[in-house]
A and B are shown apart, each in its own frame.
Chain A
Amino acid sequence: MEPAALPTALQLAASGDTGLSLEKRAALGASLLLLQRDYRFERVWFWGCIQGVRGTYYIAQGLGPDLAAPRSRLYSLNCVEWSLLPPATVEMVEQAALLKGLFQGDPSFEYEYAEVNAEDDERFLEDGKELTIKEENRLVATIEQIDRAVGIIPRRAFMKTPLGSVHENRNFEGLSLTEAKKLSSYFHFTEPVNLKNKTLLEKADLDPSTDFLDSLEHDVPQGSWTVQFEKGGTVVVLRSLLWLGLTFYHVPMTKQYGYIYCGTGWKIKHICQPKTILGRTLITDMENMKIYLQGEKARPVVKNINVLYLLDPGRMHKLGILKWMWKKCTCLPTTAMHFLLQITDSTDFKNISFW
């Protein structure tokens, strides 16, 4: 968000643990402007912070005239001195995905893969790559992931020009109260994935200049966003349950919106763990204790008929399933899922909820 809007934004979106002390807040007001001058950015946004064990990274983003263009990212440990981060590569994201635990708070800290996973280690050995990853790279990868997964804007806030660049829509006057409640009025501000897969019927109402992004409506898993009206129903606040710490706020009927991330940089996967088995994606929704089967296309195949009830594992209730099937299912999550997938393949079961 814009540095000028930061105090208001923090007040509106504060989840309580933003960790931006008064001193840092004041420092941001000055240093971000200087960033804009030194790096010749069109505008500078404060992105948020990632908490580490020994320090906290504060992240800023520099933008050019085209908002959709890759952004430059900068980090700082004290909100005064900023350093430019390298652009994220696919490799970096892959490597960082292997790492667990909190950030250290030291950009030159090197993680060793040996601690992480022996198999992956071998893989990287074969490739002749280094066995370590710098925390700086992990930071880049994490920011990239967060931006890609949960960086959101309200619908119509940005506009695509015929030349392909994306600008702020100066005609945007905020979502209405009814719109603000719906996930379909918020967009992922990243390359659209599901847009092309939409049916003609769904596309009929879309306006190509404003609806050029994916909406949150079909996010997997469903329910990974919370929409709340706070401050006595005047501010709509969206929080991601996948990346705890991401808060988006918008004051309906005004142009005020933005998101801020303040967290540990760790994605919560227990509410949803997609796995690819037999060429299909299975999604376990631990929050609702369900398993979804995702089809080849990106749309989730969610059928709502529960076929397999195992209410009490001790006293098994046999409902449409043979006992030997359950006996085979000894461990979670891979084998069980594999097994459940076999059931779904061999029978007409579409959705299986277990426990």
Chain B
Amino acid sequence: MVRRPIPRVKHRRTKQRSSAGGPAGRLGTATTRTAALRKAQSADTKQARPKARPAPQRRSCEGLLHHERFRYGALPIMKRGKKRGGRPLQTNRREEQLGQLQNGVERPPSGNGNGSGSRRSTQPGGGDKRQSLPTAEANSRPAPSGNGCPGNGCRFTSVASEAEGLLGRLAMAEHGPYLPHEPGYGLYQPGYGLFDDQTPDPDHRMLACQNAKAYLLQSSLTSGLNLYDHLVNVLTKILDERPANPVDIFENISKDVKAAQFQKKMDTLRDEHEILPSFESAEIRRNLFFKSDAGDEEREEELGEIPLPNVMETAFYFEQGGIGLSRDETYLIFLALKKLVSVQPIQTCRFWGRILGREKNYIIAEVQFREGEEEEETEEEEVIDEGDKRMDEVEDEDEEKEKNEPPKSTYKPPPVIPKEENGTGANKHVYFVCNEPGEPWVKLPPVTPAQIVCARKIKKFFTGRLDAPIVSFPPFPGNEANYLRAQIARISAGTHVSPLGYYRFSEEEGDEDEEGGGGRDDYEENPDFEPLSAFEMVESLSTWVHHVPSILKQGRCVWFNPLQKTEEEEGEEEEEEKDEVPDELQQETGPPLLTPLSEDEGIQNIPAWTVSLSTRLIPQYAVAILRSNRWPGAYAFACGTKFGNIYFGWGHKYSLGNHTPALPPPVQPEYPNGPEIREAADPTVEEELAFKAAQEQKALEGMEGEEEEEEEEFEEDEEEEEEDD
């Protein structure tokens, strides 16, 4: 097995002669060649299978061995092995393959005849061994194929052998003994076939092939795969699936094949069934679809009217304007509202909207309880009041501590403005919230004026947790539930509108003169309401009116005189409210109820509302859509006798420019700064000396006697007179 350079020249000549067609001819006969190969394989596999089979079992451990060796290059190892004259360092598998080659030699020439389609086997003048080369290739092929991709058909094997031939050639350049010495000589020159000018020595060539293949067969330490099998699988996949432009997506296919192979599970542990977070919410939502108990239905029948609004109808009109959640989600909310109505003693109910939060969103329902059954609420309120009291107590404790210190604080907190009674003003409605339809509804506490006043000064995102603290300046009295309630009150007051004439003041209340400004807060549906067309609704904002009283600066809808409270007993507050005459404070007044929207103030140049029609093409069925610019996310629609209000947003009022938090108040002085307290400056040395001198002089004069006193006095008087001049 020593190199023989001279015969190589001979081979080259013969080769050139034999491959008459040149490269073109070679390529042109690709299909015939495959067919021929296929035949050869079918013949060869029959013989070779039994011997090739054992290979895969050993391969895995061999792979490890080979891995180390081949890192240093295949060729040197081979040479070393040859020099020793013994078997090559390749392990059993290689021996086996060599053995197969030997077998190939012994086989009758029919095998060669089958393989004659291959270019290599047409070389004349080659020895037996050379002729058996394709056979050897075919022989060794089934082993990996059987391992890597069982169950592939005959076509695959032919492809594999094709690929192998190509790889073999490629590998020859890298690992074979006949690497040309000139740099840049070889595969890298386009149009230059590696074997056109030379025919390698068959032995070496064969060995090179084996070498290359052994290299390709090394299994990776990390994945356990080897490139040979992988390429075979990839090519099979490509030929099976026939994608367009396979070159461009070759990487992807390769990735897919790898991913598909990783499925085999090696450990004996049982897979734990994955529990997706969506299962839980699916469970919650499914509960909405169960029919409620029979008792409830009877109850509803007894009551006659169901307070449940037709959410889907409202949603339909909003959808015309492109507002609203997706339909199935709206339906879930619809079902959730139904659940709420069946549980609580509710007179009216409405889907208020959705406020987005950082972690979760709030779905909000606006309800009014039936009159007789509000007692439940008061109990809850007391609890809340207790909570407030506790807060007060804490403050009191602080004050007590302060009392131990000498100076007493003269600070008096401003009188607390009482919250409005349930069912009136800002607390007219009760709100229930939940994060997802199907979750239990949580009732929001009633809003206090202090909360509304503070909510105006801050701007915070909601988190989605009702018990989250509100970290802000000025500090907000309460947690997120209170803040949410305050924002809902503000949004409702600012954006709940209805077409002009839909509501009218109830006549029973009568006497408008007595009640004055914001007094009338009772209205009823106007039975004589004549709807305006959508066009008219769009043309002028004066066709829309507010039907929720605006909240005064104080934080209440009805003004309360804080001064009066200190004088009178607290129990009579409510009665006083109406009679009160503002003494020093000016009564705050807001626009009366059912004021047209055209009176609304915009923000600088921006009008408060933007009107649009859902369609300009089909005016007959158009819906008038109103969008608030002061509260982005608040919408209203009107279509015939139907109207609705809804809010989808973050719960923030629009502010021109950025929100700047209020400044902290100036720092309190520690003590009053006055002349009594101020320390006098120390006298200087000169002053002291002068003072001393004066003292001494005085003493001396005293010693001299009283005779001169008169004179002195006289002199002093004179001096004073001079000074005065």
Residue pair A17, B649 in contact (C-beta under 8 Å): yes
Q: What chain B residues lie within 8 Å of A350 (beta carbons)?
A: none
Instruction: Identify B320's interface contact among A21, A330, A355, CB under 8 A.
Output: A21
> A225's closest neighbor in chain B, by CB?
B358
Q: How many angstroms from the CA of A287 to the CA of B459 in the assembled complex?
A: 8
Q: List 30 A-B contacts (CB under 8 A).
A: A14-B325, A14-B326, A15-B356, A15-B648, A15-B649, A16-B353, A17-B323, A22-B322, A22-B614, A23-B617, A24-B322, A51-B632, A53-B629, A100-B656, A100-B657, A102-B629, A171-B251, A171-B255, A229-B277, A241-B358, A270-B660, A287-B460, A289-B472, A314-B665, A314-B667, A315-B668, A330-B666, A331-B663, A332-B660, A332-B663
Within 8 A of A (CB), among B590-636: 603-607, 610, 612, 614-617, 627, 629, 632-633, 635
Residue pair B629, A233 in contact (C-beta under 8 Å): no
Known: A53-B610, A101-B606, A170-B249. A273 touches B658 (CB 8 A): yes
> B633's closest neighbor in chain A, by CB?
A17
> A239's closest neighbor in chain B, by CB?
B356
* Chain B 269-286 interface 0/1 with A at a Cβ cutoff of 8 Å (1 = within): 000000011101110010
Residue pair B667, A313 in contact (C-beta under 8 Å): yes
Q: What chain A residues lie within 8 Å of B285 (beta carbons)?
A: 232
Q: What chain B residues lie within 8 Å of A56 (beta carbons)?
A: 612
Residue B659 lies at the interface, judged by CB distance under 8 Å to chain A: yes
Residue pair B322, A171 in contact (C-beta under 8 Å): no
Residue pair B658, A270 in contact (C-beta under 8 Å): yes
Residue pair B664, A313 in contact (C-beta under 8 Å): yes
Q: How many angstroms from the CA of A21 to the CA of B317 in the assembled complex?
A: 10
Q: What chain B residues lie within 8 Å of A210 (beta carbons)?
A: none
Q: What chain B residues lie within 8 Å of A263 (beta carbons)?
A: 632
Residue B124 lies at the interface, judged by CB distance under 8 Å to chain A: no
Given contacts A10-B326, A14-B325, 12 further A-B contacts (CB under 8 A): A12-B326, A15-B648, A19-B322, A21-B614, A23-B615, A53-B606, A101-B605, A171-B251, A171-B255, A244-B632, A273-B658, A286-B459
Residue pair A233, B280 in contact (C-beta under 8 Å): yes
* Chain B 644-678 interface 0/1 with A at a Cβ cutoff of 8 Å (1 = within): 00101110101011111101111110000000000
Q: How many residues from B make CB contacts under 8 Å with A?
A: 69
* Chain B 351-380 interface 0/1 with A at a Cβ cutoff of 8 Å (1 = within): 001101111110000000000000000000
Q: What chain B residues lie within 8 Å of A310 (beta carbons)?
A: 664
Q: What chain B residues lie within 8 Å of A333 (beta carbons)?
A: 660
Q: How many angstroms from the CA of A289 to the CA of B662 in the assembled complex?
A: 12
Q: Is the interface of B mostly helix, strand, loop or mixed?
A: loop
Residue pair A355, B667 in contact (C-beta under 8 Å): no
Interchain nearest-CB distance for B88 vs A (Å): 40
Q: What chain A residues lie within 8 Å of B555 (beta carbons)?
A: none
* Chain B 450-477 interface 0/1 with A at a Cβ cutoff of 8 Å (1 = within): 0000000001110000000001110000
Q: What chain B residues lie within 8 Å of A171 (beta carbons)?
A: 251-252, 255
Known: A53-B629, A355-B473. A313 touches B356 (CB 8 A): no
Interchain nearest-CB distance for B279 vs A (Å): 8
> B662's closest neighbor in chain A, by CB?
A332
Interchain nearest-CB distance for A118 vs B (Å): 16
Within 8 A of A (CB), among B169-227: none
Instruction: Identify A332's interface contact among B276, B278, B604, B661, CB under 8 A.
Output: B661
Q: How many angstroms from the CA of A287 to the CA of B461 in the assembled complex?
A: 8
Residue B321 lies at the interface, judged by CB distance under 8 Å to chain A: yes
Residue pair B436, A101 in contact (C-beta under 8 Å): no
Q: Which residues of A contact B (CB under 8 A)?
A: 10-12, 14-25, 51-54, 56, 78, 100-102, 170-171, 177, 223, 226, 228-234, 239, 241, 244, 263-264, 268-271, 273, 286-289, 310, 313-316, 323, 326-327, 330-333, 355
Residue pair A269, B329 in contact (C-beta under 8 Å): no
Within 8 A of A (CB), among B243-278: 249, 251-252, 255, 276-278
Q: What chain A residues lie within 8 Å of B472 (beta carbons)?
A: 289
Interface hub of B278, B603, B615, B668 (most chain A Cβ within 10 A)? B278
Q: What chain B residues lie within 8 Å of A244 (beta carbons)?
A: 632, 650, 652
Q: How many angstroms from the CA of A145 to the CA of B603 in the assembled complex?
A: 25
Q: What chain A residues lie within 8 Å of B329 (beta carbons)?
A: 231
Known: A25-B322, A289-B473. A16 touches B665 (CB 8 A): no
Q: What chain B residues lie within 8 Å of A15 (beta carbons)?
A: 356, 648-649
Q: Which A-B residue pairs are the 7 nearest by beta carbons?
A: A16-B648, A233-B278, A313-B664, A270-B659, A21-B322, A232-B281, A11-B326
Interchain nearest-CB distance for B412 vs A (Å): 14
Within 8 A of A (CB), among B286-335: 319-326, 329
Q: How many angstroms from the CA of A333 to the CA of B658 in the assembled complex?
A: 12
Residue pair A19, B277 in contact (C-beta under 8 Å): no
Q: How many angstroms from the CA of A233 to the CA of B275 in the assembled complex?
A: 12
Residue pair A23, B614 in contact (C-beta under 8 Å): yes
Q: How many angstroms from the CA of A19 to the CA of B251 in the assembled complex?
A: 43
Instruction: Identify B360's interface contact among A51, A228, A273, CB under 8 A.
Output: A228
Residue pair A316, B667 in contact (C-beta under 8 Å): yes
Q: How many angstroms from the CA of A148 to the CA of B687 in the assembled complex?
A: 75
Interchain nearest-CB distance for A112 vs B (Å): 11
Residue pair B658, A233 in contact (C-beta under 8 Å): no
Residue pair A226, B660 in contact (C-beta under 8 Å): no
Interchain nearest-CB distance for A244 vs B (Å): 6
Instruction: Identify B658's interface contact among A101, A264, A269, CB under 8 A.
Output: A269
Q: How many angstroms from the CA of A313 to the CA of B285 in the assembled complex?
A: 48
Interface hub of B459, B606, B635, B657 (most chain A Cβ within 10 A)? B606
Q: What chain B residues lie within 8 Å of A78 (beta carbons)?
A: 616
Q: What chain B residues lie within 8 Å of A241 (beta carbons)?
A: 358, 461
Q: How many angstroms from the CA of A232 to the CA of B280 in the assembled complex?
A: 8
Interchain nearest-CB distance for A200 vs B (Å): 23
Residue pair A228, B361 in contact (C-beta under 8 Å): yes
Residue pair B280, A327 in contact (C-beta under 8 Å): no
Residue pair A313, B320 in contact (C-beta under 8 Å): no
Q: What chain A residues lie within 8 Å of B460 (beta carbons)?
A: 287
Q: What chain B residues lie within 8 Å of A11 (beta carbons)?
A: 326
Q: How many angstroms from the CA of A287 to the CA of B607 in the assembled complex?
A: 29
> B278's closest neighbor in chain A, by CB?
A233
Q: What chain A residues lie within 8 Å of B652 (beta carbons)?
A: 244
Residue pair B627, A51 in contact (C-beta under 8 Å): yes
Q: What chain B residues lie within 8 Å of A231 (beta carbons)?
A: 329
Known: A51-B627, A232-B436, A313-B665. A17 touches B635 (CB 8 A): yes
Q: How many angstroms from the CA of A288 to the CA of B661 in the assembled complex?
A: 12
Interchain nearest-CB distance for A251 vs B (Å): 11
Residue pair A177, B276 in contact (C-beta under 8 Å): yes
Q: How many angstroms from the CA of A170 to the CA of B627 in the assembled complex?
A: 41
Interchain nearest-CB distance for B326 vs A (Å): 4
Q: What chain A residues lie within 8 Å of B635 (beta carbons)?
A: 17
Q: What chain B residues lie within 8 Å of A314 (beta carbons)?
A: 665, 667-668
Q: What chain B residues lie within 8 Å of A330 (beta carbons)?
A: 666
> B355's closest neighbor in chain A, by CB?
A16
Residue pair B326, A226 in contact (C-beta under 8 Å): no
Q: What chain A residues lie within 8 Å of B617 (beta carbons)?
A: 23
Known: A232-B282, A286-B661. A54 touches B436 (CB 8 A): no
Residue pair A327, B648 in contact (C-beta under 8 Å): no
Interchain nearest-CB distance for B654 vs A (Å): 8
Q: How many angstroms from the CA of A220 to the CA of B359 in the assembled complex?
A: 18
Interchain nearest-CB distance for B71 vs A (Å): 24
Q: How many angstroms from the CA of A21 to the CA of B318 in the assembled complex?
A: 9
Q: What chain A residues lie within 8 Å of B610 (beta carbons)?
A: 51-54
